Structure 1
Amino acid sequence: MLFRYLTMSLAGLAALAAGGSAAFAQSCQPKVPAAELIKPGKLVMSVNPTLPPLQFVESSGALKGMRIELGTEIARRLCLEPEYIRIEFSAMIPGLQSGRWDMINTGIFFTEERAKTMQMIPYENQAISVSVERGSPLKIASRDDLAGLSIGVELGGFEESKTRLLDKELREAGKAGLTIRTFDNFALAFQALRAGQVQGVVSIDAVAKEYDGRGDFKWAISGLYPAPVSVAFKSPVLADAVSAVFKEMKADGSLKKLFDSYGLPVIAGDYAVKGPNR
Structure 2
Amino acid sequence: MKKIKTLLITFFMITVSIIMLSGCGKTGTASTNTLESVKKAGVLKIGLEDSFPPMEFRDSNNKLVGFDVDMATEIGKRLGVKTQFVSTDFNGIILALKSGKFDAIISGMNITDERKKQIDFSKPYFMSGEIMIVKNGNTTITKSDDLVGKTVGVELGTTGDTAAQNLDKKLKDKYSKGIKEIKKYDKATDVLQDLQAGRCDVVIIDEPVGRYYTSAPGKKGKYRVLSEKLVSEATGIGFKKDNKELEESVQKAVDDMQKDGTLSKLSIKWFGTDEYKK
Task: Give the TM-score taking structure 2 as reference length.
Answer: 0.79
What's the % identity of the aligned pairs? 28
**Partners of 1:127 and 1:120 in 2: CA distance:** 17
Q: Tell me what 2:206 maps to.
A: 204
Task: Give the CA deviation at 1:68.
Answer: 0.8
Task: Tell me which residue corresponds to 1:266.
Answer: 276
Question: Which of the residues 213, 224, 227 maps onto 2:230?
Answer: 224
Partner of 2:264: 256
Residue 144 of structure 1 deviates from its aligned partner by 0.8
Superposed displacement of residue 257, structure 1 = 2.4
Q: Structure 2 CA distance, aligned partners of 1:267 and 1:92?
A: 31
Q: How many residues align?
A: 235
| 1:10-57 C-alpha deviation (Å, 9 max, x unpaired) | xxxxxxxxxxxxxxxxxxxxxx7443x398111111111222222111
Aligned to 2:249: 241
2:83 is aligned with what amino acid? P
Greater helix content? 2
Judged with a 3 Å threshold, the aligned counterparts in structure 2 of structure 1 residues 106 and 264 are, in CA distance, closer, same or farther, namely: farther
The answer to which structure has the higher strand fraction is: 1
Counterpart in 1 of 2:158?
157
Q: Does 1:128 align with 2:130?
A: yes
User: Structure 1: 5+ residue runs without aligned partners?
Assistant: 1-31, 269-278
Note the alpha carbon deviations across 1:137-178, whole angstroms, 9 max, x for none: x43222112221101101112111111001111111115311
Q: Map 1:22-171 to 2 at 5 A.
A: 33-35=35-37, 37=38, 40-121=41-122, 122-136=124-138, 138-171=139-172
User: What displacement does 1:264 show?
Assistant: 5.1
Rounded to whole Å, the distance in 2 between the matches of 1:228 and 1:86 is: 22
Q: Which residue of 1 aligns with 2:186?
A: 184
In 2: Cα distance, 1:127 partner to 1:267 partner: 18
Shift of 1:247: 1.4
**The residue matched to 1:108 in structure 2 has which SS?**
coil
Aligned position for 2:175: 174
Return structure 1 stretches of 4+ with deviation > 3 angstroms.
none
**Segment of structure 1 superposing worse, 178-187 or 248-257:** 248-257
Q: How many Å separate the matches in 1 of 2:210 and 2:146?
A: 18
Q: Unaligned 5+ residue runs, structure 2?
A: 1-33
Secondary structure of residue in 2 paired with 1:44: strand
Larger Rg: 2
Corresponding residue for residue 11 of structure 2: none
Cα RMSD for the two superposed structures: 1.9
CA contact (8 A) 1:205 1:222 kept: no
1:163-217 CA-partner distances (Å, limit 9, x unpaired): 1001111111115311101111111111221222111111111111111122232
Q: Do 2:48 and 2:86's aligned partners in 1 also have CA atoms closer than 8 Å? A: yes
Q: 2: CA distance between counterparts of 1:100 and 1:130?
A: 33
CA distance in 1: counterparts of 2:177 and 2:66, whole angstroms: 38
